Amino acid sequence: MAATSDPGVTVLDRESRLSLRARFGSDTPFLQLVDRALATALEAGDPIRLLPRILHLSLLRAALTSPSDPRPAASSDVAPFSAEGQSPPGVEHEVYLRRLRDRWVAHAGRHLYPTPAAWLHALLPPAPLPGNPYSLARLLRVFVTHLAPADCRAATSLAGLIEDSAEAAVAQCALVGAALSAHDLDAEAQAWSRQRQLLTRMPAWYWPAGRTGHDRDVLAYLRPDHRARFDTAIGVLPFATGLGHSLLTGLPALNEVYRGAYACHESLEYTEYRLAGRRPAREATTVHEETRRDPAAASPATGAGFIASPPIVAAVVSAYEQVLGGAELPIDDPVYRLYARITARTTRAHRLGADDLSPEPVPADFDPERLPAYAEIVRQNPDSPIVAALAGRLRTEAAARADRERMLGREKMLGRETLLILADAGYAGPDQALDGPAAPFPEWSALLFRHRPAQAAHRLSEAASTDWTLAAAMLEHAAAELLAAAGPGIAHELHDAVVQAAVCAAPPDADPPQVVDGTHAR
């Protein structure tokens, strides 16, 4: 598109920039066009439709006014691992690993996780901390996972844009699952073949000072290659259990978490068969019965010195056992015990037409330091009068605590976080949760896009101008919301927006990049 002073310009391409640069000797005139176009896009209506344009202009401006990659230099300087061919990080990075572990332990103590994989996912550092996983390749993979069950063709097209072999391998899990559901043998064979190729050529990463002992710890999940193997194992768990175990050979802590996920899956299959009046498979029966007899042994044994996992497996199996009319399992953790009881009652109401919808009593030993964990019980069981009493108690306590935290300026905002979870579940007003002195974390961007799309667009622009990983995290957490609001085309449009910004900002004497943040530049 030719250079223009029209403030409504939608695309500012490389040719226009180089033409203006040759004429004026700098990018200043081009940046003025970008600023006018960005201001117009941010103030126009329908911010979801204009989101790709806003992202493109924000990233373009950031790239042209910063030395290079919109990722901050610190991300690569202190990341606790390095790619093949690069110098391994020094031993001083062990301090950062210990900090990540401490952060995870504190976070896990305040929250509830419905699956062992979700518990492990919480280990990842959030953007913009060094070593965070957010990228364009990961964003496309998340879109593929959401799209595959309903629109396999769109998901396959999107997966073809992912150049990063780790993220591409995880994306193939969704395509295998979609092909199996559709009984499409050719598509299934292609997805399996592509996944094998990706796993085979996946590059290796390295720990600080070559300390391979971390491979035996849950910290192994921080490394992109190990993380891809675990996420792939979880992705194929419903239809290729053996592959999952083989992918995690040499990673005992990750394999233990996978074992917990496998136990949850087998218990689900056992329950589904029983509810359908059919005889469960022997393996599913064995796993369910073993956990029922000894729930304390069900949690992943992640080894000496490793963090003890919460009783997720025991809670899941207890819920299924109660759905089938059995007694609840003895679980020491009161939050997970309550979670299993409420989940079972809600499931029985939805699946079996149980008429007991009276609210579950709030426990007398309610722990105010675990408000987010109790709120997760509500979010995992939405639209149920069974959680009404718990939601009401949480809303009152969280609002009072949020006010105190705001006045004291505390960093640990348990009250506000609880309100955000309740608002996401529809049990608190979004304004009460979203209003505050600081922007919510990226994981609440779906709530922001749902209720305040214009404000969400402004915050995405600010994030993209500061650190691309922050913007990528916002988009990832809002992926389902964006697909519902704008359709599957939004994923391609966001990819094109990032790629166009990188191409346009390439140095005048350099060829435009062929790969942008782990994706092919179309």
Torsion angle, alpha carbons of 109, 111, 112, 118, to 10: -100
Written as six digits, the tokens of 178 are 């979609």
Contact 500, 513 (CB under 8 A): no
Q: Which residue stretches of 353-382 are H helix?
A: 371-380
CA distance 183 to 175: 12
Helix (H, G, I), strand (E, B) or coil at 503: helix
Q: If the chain, 522 residues long, is cut into consecutive pieces of 10 residues, what is the mean pLDDT of each piece? A: 37 83 89 93 92 96 74 50 70 83 93 97 93 96 97 96 97 97 95 95 83 88 96 95 92 95 96 96 95 83 60 96 96 96 95 89 92 97 94 94 78 84 93 74 91 94 94 97 95 96 91 94 82
Q: What is residue 371's predicted lDDT score, i.e. its pLDDT?
A: 96
Angle formed by the axes of helices 388-408 and 414-425, to 10°?
140
Written as six digits, the tokens of 401 are 């605590």
Single-letter amino acid, residue 220:
A
Burial class of residue 383 (count of CB atoms within 10 Å of its CB; 0-12, 13-18, 19+): exposed
Q: What is residue 72's predicted lDDT score, i.e. its pLDDT?
A: 35
Which residue reads 């609210």 in tokens? 359
Q: What is residue 409's predicted lDDT score, i.e. its pLDDT?
A: 64
Of the CA atoms within 13 Å of residue 115, those in its CB half-sphere come to: 13
Burial class of residue 325 (count of CB atoms within 10 Å of its CB; 0-12, 13-18, 19+): exposed
List beta partners, residue 82: 206
Distinct helix (H) and strand (E) counts, the chain: 25, 4
Contact 367, 407 (CB under 8 A): no
Single-letter amino acid, residue 71:
R
Written as six digits, the tokens of 94 are 């062990």
User: Does a cis peptide bond (omega within 30 degrees of 0) precede residue 310?
Assistant: no
Which residue reads 């990049």 in tokens? 513
Written as six digits, the tokens of 449 are 């896009």
* Residues 6 or more apart whose Cβ sits within 8 Å of residue 372: 110, 111, 112, 414, 417, 418, 421
Q: Which residue stretches of 371-506 are H helix?
A: 371-380, 388-408, 414-425, 430-434, 445-451, 453-466, 468-477, 479-486, 489-504
Contact 2, 10 (CB under 8 A): no
List, as one string, the DSSP characters of 310-332.
PSHHHHHHHHHHHHTT-PPP--S
Question: In three state form, how does the secondary structure of 109-165 look?
Answer: HHCCCCCHHHHHHCCCCCCCCCCCCCCHHHHHHHHHHHHCCCCHHHHHHHHCCECCH
For the question of whether the overall pTM of this predicted structure is more than 0.85, the answer is yes
